[in-house]
Structures are given as structure tokens and as C-alpha cells.
Amino acid sequence: MVADNINDVGLVRRWRFFGPADILEPLQGIFAVQYYYLSLGLRLCAIGSRYSILVQQEASNVAHSEWQVEMPAWVFNQILSHNPGALNIEKIRSRLILDGNDTLDVDIFTGACAGLILIKKEFKSTEEAAAFTLPYWLHDYSQEVTQYSEFTSYQLAKAGKIPIITIGADSL
């Protein structure tokens, strides 16, 4: 019998951060993240010293469900060695603790997307997502990019560069 490793993430909102790094202090639980996309919706994950495979059923670039199972490092390396063309994205992930034990994930990208910082929040419902606002000390330094699929990890890995999005007269 297969263990129930299904996670209904629900909704995800993302913001691109442009501010000074000290605003994000103190970050909690800093660890390296590497994703290797074998295909759209199928990725190998190396998070710190933990390895897994994840299958994602995506309804949009905002909402999805996923199934994930851990594996030993040798299995991870074996699968990766048979997929030399796997798209790759690298980042450092941290958590920012807000009032009331609420958290934001902070992804500081390295490699091809070095310099990009994304803030991410997962929600269980549309109402919860709509009601959330970034704290005032982050709001002035961030632009919401949830609606742009170019800012998903898969699309960043596929493009191999930071996307430029034009909003009115401004470019992100």
C-alpha cells in the first residue's frame, strides 16, 4: 500500500523582492534547494540533505496538488544520472516568521537566476489568499508576480534567466 503523501497546497501567491537584504532579517531555517525537472509536473528535489521525487498536478500557476516521497541519495543520483537534460533551478530557501506564527518562504536564487528573490505564501483557500497582505515593511519593496507563470520554478529553470515583465511603464 502506498502512503498518503498527497498535499493539497491550494493556492500560492508570489512576490518579487527588490529591497535591501537587511529587511528580510532574521531569516529562519536557511537551506539549499535544488530542483531537477524531468518533465512538467515531475521533479527531483534536493533540500539540504533530504532527497525526494515530487509529482505535481497543476490547475494553474497559482493552485495545485502534489504527491511527494523521500528517497535515499543514491536513488536520487541514479535517476538524475539517467536524465542528463533535466532542467535545473538552484536557490537558498528561508522562512520569515510573521506575527502569530504565520510564515513566508523566501527563495534567494543562485546559478542562472542569481539576484532574484521571491517571497512565497501558500494558502488553503481563495478567501484566505485574497485576505492576505504583505507586512508594511515588505510591501514597499515587493511586486506581486503570482499571475506571471514566468516566476514559477519550472519556468525559471526552463528559461535559465530572470524574466523581464513590463507592467505599464515599469519593468520587473
pLDDT of 47 higher than 60: yes
pLDDT at 5: 62
Under the banding of pLDDT at 50, 70 and 90, the label for residue 1 is very low
**Position with higher pLDDT, 25 vs 97:** 97
- Please state the rounded mean pLDDT for residues 74-89: 96
DSSP codes joined into one string, the chain? -----EEEEEEEEEEEE-S-GGGGPSPEEEEEEEEEEEETTEEEEEETTEEEEEEEEESSSSEEEEEEEEE-HHHHHHHHHT-TT-EEEEEEEEEEE-GGG-EEEEEEEEGGGTT-EEEEEEESSHHHHHH----HHHHTTEEE-TT-GGGSHHHHHHHTS----EETTEE-
Residues whose CB falls within 8 Å of the CB of residue 134, separated by 6 or more in sequence, listed in order: 15, 119, 142
pLDDT at 9: 59
The pLDDT tens digits for 115-161 are 999 999 998 888 999 999 999 989 999 999 999 999 999 999 999 99
Under the banding of pLDDT at 50, 70 and 90, the label for residue 28 is confident
Residue with cell 521571491: 118
Q: What is the pTM of this model?
A: 0.86
**Position with higher pLDDT, 8 vs 49:** 49
The pLDDT tens digits for 57-71 are 766 666 678 889 999
The Cα 112–Cα 95 span in angstroms is 22
The pLDDT tens digits for 85-126 are 999 999 999 999 888 778 999 999 999 999 999 999 998 888
Domain boundaries, the chain: 6-171
pLDDT of 2 higher than 60: no
Q: Does domain 6-171 have CATH number 3.30.56.10?
A: no
